[in-house]
Structure 1
Amino acid sequence: MLYGADFSVPAVLIHPHVALDSLSRDELRAIFAMRRRTWPDGTPIQVFVLPDDHPLHRAFCKQVLNVYPHQLRRIWDRGVFSGTGQAPIEVSSVEEMQKRIAAVPGAIGYTDRIQQDASVKAITVR
């Protein structure tokens, strides 16, 4: 994978036990802004992201969430510093993200390639 390459629209991945096949952009924005904290069944949502300067993170923010990475970072920092929220868990690579999503019930993240197997589930953005 070339990190300097242009990415097509990133795919959203969730843990396979999350009983959803799609989410709206508004729902995704609420999840990645750490405002929505549980799935409909009550399972806690665990958000995984790549570093702010990673090309895939920038593409995900702009193309899927319709925000800039610095705007998302500001939301996370505000929640952490005010004591009302938390930041997502940052991982260093797409491979690590997929492994963490597979290992953590309720996890959500994104990828630039769909190598879906039983360990993760790609969902539709509506």
Structure 2
Amino acid sequence: MVKRIRLGKTRALAALALALAAAGAARAELVVIVSARNPLPALSGDQVAAIFLGQSGRFPDGAEVVALDQRLGSNERNQFYSQVTGKTPALLKAHWSKMVFTGRGQPPRELSDNAAVRRLVAENPAMIGYIDRSALDASVRPVLVLR
């Protein structure tokens, strides 16, 4: 009977370890990116939040900015908004419902994945997006790293 209890505890500990590892793996290191042709050196978290919440339509140097989102429900999108704005998906939906209803803005264009965001941002210096750090290449440049 003692062996069964120990085996049960061992299995429970192994399951807990796997669950914790999976939770850690789901949290990616995200980077906010602009085109490699954009001269912007960096942005603060507050500046990024203002852009992605429709409160600012310009980079700090005055150039127009167009924000691009990951697909609704993706881990990257949920993590990004949680870290940068402190908003849950439900609060974000409420924010954009109010912005659209009052005519003050439209939500960022939604793209399917990291590669799609990187490709569009690379093509246009006015665009900004966020991707998993592992998806970076020379066509884009990080202006904010989220940990």
Fold shared per TM-score above 0.5: yes
Gaps of 5+ in 2: 1-24
The whole-number CA distance in structure 2 between the counterparts of 1:124 and 1:112 is 12
Measured against aligned partners, the alpha-carbon deviations of 1:69-111 in whole angstroms (never above 9, x if no partner) come to 2222322222222222121100011111111111122111111
The one-letter code of the counterpart of 2:142 is A
Following TM superposition, where does structure 1 have runs of at least 4 consecutive aligned residues deviating by more than 4 angstroms?
none
Specify which of 60, 66, 77 is matched with residue 97 of structure 2: 77
Could you say what secondary structure the match of 1:48 adopts?
strand
Measured against aligned partners, the alpha-carbon deviations of 1:32-88 in whole angstroms (never above 9, x if no partner) come to 101110113332111000122111111111123322222223222222222221211
Could you say what secondary structure the match of 1:92 adopts?
coil
Q: Does 1:7 align with 2:14?
A: no
* Deviation, structure 1 residue 117: 3.5
Change beyond 3 A, Cα 1:8–1:14? same
The whole-number CA distance in structure 2 between the counterparts of 1:74 and 1:16 is 34
Could you say what secondary structure the match of 2:87 adopts?
coil
- Which has more helix, going by share of residues? 2
Between the aligned residues of both structures, percent identity stands at: 31
- TM-score normalised by length of structure 1: 0.82
The whole-number CA distance in structure 1 between the counterparts of 2:85 and 2:43 is 11
For residue 37 of structure 2, what is the aligned residue in structure 1?
17
The whole-number CA distance in structure 2 between the counterparts of 1:37 and 1:89 is 14
Change beyond 3 A, Cα 1:30–1:9? same
Could you say what secondary structure the match of 2:67 adopts?
strand
The whole-number CA distance in structure 2 between the counterparts of 1:28 and 1:64 is 7
The whole-number CA distance in structure 2 between the counterparts of 1:14 and 1:72 is 23
What is the CA RMSD across the aligned residues, in angstroms?
Answer: 2.0
- TM-score normalised by length of structure 2: 0.72
For residue 128 of structure 2, what is the aligned residue in structure 1?
108
Further displaced range: 71-80 or 100-109: 71-80
For residue 48 of structure 1, what is the aligned residue in structure 2?
68
Measured against aligned partners, the alpha-carbon deviations of 1:16-40 in whole angstroms (never above 9, x if no partner) come to 2333222222111111101110113
Could you say what secondary structure the match of 1:118 adopts?
coil
Contact 1:49/1:91, CA 8 A, preserved across alignment:
yes
